[in-house]
Amino acid sequence: MNAAITDIGVSRFLRLCFGLALFVAGPSISDQGVPAQTPGQEMTGERLVNARKEPQNWPTYFGAYDGWRYSSLNQISAANVKNLVPVWAFQTGKVDGGLNATPIVIDGVMYLIASEDRVFALKADTGERLWTYNYKVPRDFGSPYGKFNRGVAVAYGLVFFGTMDNHVVALDAKTGKEVWNVEVEDVKKCGCNINGAPLVVKDKVVVGGTGGDSAHRGYINAFNAKTGRFAWRFYTIPGPGEPGHESWGGTEMWKYGGGSTWLTGSYDSEQNLIIWGIGNPSSDFHNDIRPGSNLYTDSIVALDADSGKLKWYYQEIPGDSWDFDSAYESILLDTTRNGKIEKLLVHTNKSGFVWVVDRTSGKFVNAWRYVDTINWVKGIDKDGGLIERNEPQVGKQTLICPNWGGGRSWNHAAYSPRTGWLYNDGIEWCADTISLPQEAREGRGFVAGSITVKPPPDGPIRAHLDAFDPVSGEKKWTVPFKYPILSSLLVTGGDVLFTGDVEGRFLAFDAKTGKQLWSFNTGSGHRGGPITYSVNGRQYVAAPSGLGSIFVGGMPATWPEVAGFPGGSAVFAFSLPESVRK
């Protein structure tokens, strides 16, 4: 099989070639089960801390606690990635909601969650299904933030995930049978749920939640991983008598002010800190009813992993009126500057800026633009202050750039310690934005505004893939795209950068130059997170394929042709032929 096959498209390829194992999800739990692990190989908190020593696995949502989305595996390299071929594909069985997840791979077993909270265990080298779990929700249930789910966590012989109706569930990793199930809060009351991957730290499983566009008070929750017993809760909005409560201007809006935690945090094991990005305040576009900085919305918080107590915070956007979440990934870097090692946190925000802070103290270090079209502020000063805010006006259109879709969506950046660069994508677009006063009703939508997408003043709406110095923001290279990139990025020890586009192409680039090296059309666009792992010495790259999400649902208003893009929900695994691996 040669590289030319990779461009013929998945449907024709599946018809013409043999050697690609194709599996389809079944309706119920298989009795085959996961092969027994060698004694002492159960994934533990200690193994997760040392995940970088096990490059054959992809044991956490980001690959490791540092949030890099990097693997040191290098069998697949910039020199030979052109020879990459598909070796198996697994269809989850339902395309509604697409496939937003990042798979987990531990000791040769892949764990995957698909829309409607369907969980699968697969043999990572063949794609053969080991078991399936189908979560049951009431028939009349309407999920407030969609049917999709971004990932699971695996530890202590259990598979953890959050649900459409705001529960946390643990399954037996060998059989797929439910072990425990706890409700976080009544979804009908809070208008929130869980679609981000949990984070296992020590003996606890930690989860965030949605609700940033609802009248709801956000939180981060921790449960005992083995029993599901409640451990602690951190409210992202301080209550009466707590430091920061005064930042809500003496109003009752602290009860309904958003601050969701809808993505997944990172963990600094040396400091025992869980670091998590916090979403926007509600109402999204009308901040007159919540005067003040509105802590801890649009902030990064560092919590003691044992108690959930706040150790430090940094607020990127006080009193947000643009819906610029700070919920995105927290990338932990140690870098040498001015002759000393600095422990930094690099954090992309929807606003078009990347913030860099000291992760031992939360002190501001720098902020830099990853998109060109920014007018919501004139800039950010040397102390992190916002210069000349351009805010939506009540009943009057104001052009805001970027718009509330963000300078980038939630799909994640990647960092390579080999190049020392951050890989990120961006969108150049704006919107006429109107602030519309709205009454808060607990658990109901609380956006208080409207937008009409517009191109930037300097040309058409466009997107790009870029490499940057993570601290200074110096751009190293850029690749233009017609549509926003909605797949997370993956970078490897072979200096290959992987991502996928909304037209279905899974792509490989030279991490040093940005040159495209390879592509394969999976038949549907990419919204999840590609990973890499190895089994028996053979490296694989797995790509979730299948358009679907709130962002994707809004794309036809700007790109009408996207309405006709095919749906899907499948994982494709790629590897090198044996002749190339030798």
Which residues carry out catalysis?
Answer: 323
Residues 423 and 366 sit within 8 Å (Cβ to Cβ): no
Pairing of strands 414-416, 178-183: unpaired
CB 205 within 8 A of CB 152: no
> For the purposes of burial, counting CB atoms within 10 Å of the CB of 34, is it exposed (0-12), middle (13-18) or buried (19 or more)?
buried
**Residues 6+ positions from 475 with CB-CB distance below 8 Å:** 466, 467, 468
What are the C-alpha distances in Å from 265 to residues 10, 220, 430? Answer: 35, 10, 29
Residue among 43, 37, 42 at smallest CA distance from 59: 43
DSSP 8-state symbol, 340: E
Q: Which residues pair with 431 in a beta bridge?
A: 400, 453
For the beta sheet containing 475-481, the strands, ordered from the edge strand earlier in sequence to the opposite edge, are 414-416, 421-428, 462-468, 475-481
Dig out the tokens for 305 from the structure.
């992993």
Contact 530, 70 (CB under 8 A): no
Distance of alpha carbon 467 from alpha carbon 484, whole angstroms: 16
- Angle formed at CA 490 by CA 100 and CA 577, multiple of 5 degrees: 100
Give the whole-angstrom CA distance, residue 467 versus residue 539: 25
Residue given tokens 């490059």 in the structure block: 55
Contact (Cβ atoms closer than 8 angstroms) between residue 397 and residue 432: yes
For residue 235, give the nearest of 208, 272, 205 by alpha carbon: 208
